[in-house]
Homo-oligomer: A and B are copies of this chain.
Amino acid sequence: MMKFSARSAGPALKPSLDTPARPAGGRTRQANEARILEAAEAVFAEAGFTGASMQAIAERAGLPKANLHYYFGTKELLYRTLLGRILDMWVDAFDHITPDRDPAEAIAAYITDKMRWSRTRPLASKVFANEVIHGAQQIEGYLSGKLRQIVAEKAAVIDGWVAEGRMAPVDPVHLFFTLWATTQTYADFEVQVRAVLARDRLTESDFDHATDQILRLMLRGCGLEVPHTVPDGR
C-alpha cells in the first residue's frame, strides 16, 4: 500500500520529455496528480502558500479536497512537489552559457529564454518569487547547493570571456542577479507593468518589444552588440 507518490520528493533531474520509461503510478494517479499540480500552481501563485487553501485548489482541480490529501498527503508536500518541478525549469536556461560560444549570442539566448519563460509560465514564476520573498524555507538547500554551484560554474565562463577581452569587465554573479530580476519582473510584477503601460493584458508583441529593449540595454552594458541572428531560445 504505497500511500504517497514515489515521485513526491523526486530527484531534481531533468526528466526525459519523450516517452517516459516508467509513468510511475497508474494512469489515474498520473492524470490526477497533473490536474492537482496545475490547479495548485494557479492558486499558490494567486494567494501564496498560507493564502492558498486546499479547498480552493480542490475546486479548481474539480476534485474533492480529501482526494488531494490522498495523493500528496499534506499541503506542504504538495507545495514542495510543485516547487521541485519549477526549480527544474529554472536552471535549464543556463545551458546557453558555454565557453565556446560567442558571448553576445550566449547572453542574448539566455535573456530570450528567460523572457519566454516569463511569458509562458508566469504562474510558476510567481510561486517561486513568493517562496523566495518569504524566506525560501522550502528551497534553502537548493539555493545554497545546486544553484550556487551552477552559478559559480557559469560565472567562471563569463570571467573567461572577460579575461580574453571579449566583453567588458563585469562581476558575473551580479550580472546574473540583474538578468534574473529584469526578466522575471515581467511575470512577477505583470500587474504593475500593465498598469504603467495602460494595457489590460500583455501581448506577445509587448513581450517582444520588452525583450528587445532588455537585449540592447544589457548587451551594451556588457560591452557587446546585439547579434543580428536573433538566437533561438531552445
Contacts and interface: CB of A to CB of B under 8 A. Distances in A.
A24 interface: no
A4 interface: no
Contacts of A50: 47-48, 50-51
Interface string A30-50: 000000000000000011111
* Closest 6 A/B residue pairs (Cβ): A221-B221, A50-B51, A143-B195, A181-B185, A181-B181, A217-B221
Give the interface SS of chain A, mostly helix, strand, loop or mixed.
Answer: helix
A181 B171 contact: no
Contacts of A83: none
A183 B125 CA distance: 19
Contact of A147 (B126, B171, B196, B214): B196
A220 interface: yes
Interface stretch (A10-18, A57-65, A156-164, A186-194): A186-194
B175 A217 contact: yes
B191 A136 contact: yes
A188 B192 CA distance: 16
Contacts of A174: 209-210, 213-214, 217
Interface stretch (A66-74, A97-105, A127-135): A127-135
A213 B50 CA distance: 36
A184 interface: yes
Contact of A134 (B46, B186, B217): B46
